[in-house]
Structure 1
């Protein structure tokens, strides 16, 4: 009988208090596992050390197997990552930040687990995307995550206009993210490419002590940027949302 693949959420930043965002039962489940798949073994060990401070690990950290799954992992290597589960051992899929398999390379492994009949159990934890929708005041009944936008300025502006039109037609909130050092360029593009009445939310460092969430019209953002009163989000993880005026 195969083991269970647990989808283990991580904090959204190292400064987040573990007990504020990761439920106790999730920490307790994590502490019992001896096999993990993670984007980065070093940061996975750091997370397990934080768990150990509350729930002692069932095995010494050096005896816990951590294999990596990231953008460099070949598709033909995925099957090997499930070997412990085929042998009957439970394992954890651990995200770098937030929940696994959402804006995260773990989705392919989860799909393969389903294909092989391996039970999959998602555990409760912070999702920057859902928290941003909750706090934005935008439409939470219909929303879509679009990943990263083009880095080329012209292509990015066109993509924003397309998303704004889709938002207007479907009354749907559009979400996207950016490499943190390009946050400023993306907000500038939103302020200048979108219609003045389009609502834009900038949600930075969600669940961290430095959290900042602001929703304004594109026109208000344009004025704020011109007055050098933009958000403090340089090199900080940020979720962007827009909802076009009807």
Structure 2
């Protein structure tokens, strides 16, 4: 079996935000696909402090991985060894390459079990006040300035034409430059939601304002996990 396990969105997330079944699964599974080994070990310790770390067998699955790179793990899965899949934050396979092994599992009759947990973009969406029936998650925008400007304006145009909420994110250390670009390239009356430090009880920040209002009070987002939404 392949368990799709959630990771916390914040190291300050209360453990009671999560189902107790996560600990039970982790205590019984030693093999994991992980996006980042250090983060994965911290997440496993968060859910199951008594789990013996030397027992863990971690297989790197990042944006550079291909199915051919995972032959050892796939052989074990075919032999009936259970695996967990962990992202760096939130649910796996959203904004990360976990779908590679999930797709392989379906083709090879390995049962896939999604486990309940937080999704940053879903929590941001329901807290934004925007259209929650029709929306699009766009992942990461382009890094190159001109391409990013074009993408931002295209997303704004989609909101104006369809009413569909447009959701996207950025690597935390580039959040401030992205926010600056949003205030430059979006129309003054366009509504933007910024959802940062989601699930961190003391530092959570979720606000929806027009671009005009955001220009008057800019948040500090450097190295803070955040989700951005444009909507109506």
Same fold (TM over 0.5): yes
Q: What's 1:232 paired with? A: 220
Alpha-carbon deviation of 1:81? 2.6
Q: What's 2:231 paired with? A: 243
TM-align CA RMSD: 1.6
- Residue number among 186, 190, 197 corresponding to 1:198 in the alignment: 190
1:97-142, Cα deviation, whole Å (9 max, x unpaired) = 1101111111111111111111101000111010000111111011
Q: What's 2:55 paired with? A: 63
Q: Secondary structure at the match of 1:14?
A: coil
The alignment status of 1:36 with 2:29, answered yes or no, reads no
- Runs ≥4 in structure 1, deviation > 6 angstroms? none
Distance change >3 Å, CA 181–CA 61, structure 1 → 2: closer
Looking at structure 2, the residues matched to 184 and 44 of structure 1 have their Cα atoms a distance apart, in angstroms, of 27
Q: Give the TM-score of the pair, scaled to structure 1.
A: 0.88
5+ unaligned residues in a row in structure 2: which ranges? none
Looking at structure 2, the residues matched to 102 and 79 of structure 1 have their Cα atoms a distance apart, in angstroms, of 23
- Residue number among 206, 216, 229 corresponding to 2:209 in the alignment: 216
Within 5 A, what are the aligned runs for 1:1-246? 4-17=1-14, 19-53=15-49, 56-57=50-51, 60-208=52-200, 209-222=202-215, 224=216, 229-243=217-231
Moved more, 115-124 or 34-43: 34-43
Q: Give the TM-score of the pair, scaled to structure 2.
A: 0.93
Looking at structure 2, the residues matched to 110 and 97 of structure 1 have their Cα atoms a distance apart, in angstroms, of 18
Q: Secondary structure at the match of 1:233?
A: coil
Q: Secondary structure at the match of 1:83?
A: helix
Q: Secondary structure at the match of 2:41?
A: helix
5+ unaligned residues in a row in structure 1: which ranges? none
What is the count of residue pairs matched by the alignment?
231
Alpha-carbon deviation of 1:47? 2.0
Looking at structure 2, the residues matched to 153 and 113 of structure 1 have their Cα atoms a distance apart, in angstroms, of 38
Looking at structure 1, the residues matched to 168 and 61 of structure 2 have their Cα atoms a distance apart, in angstroms, of 23
1:75-103, Cα deviation, whole Å (9 max, x unpaired) = 42134332222111211011111101111
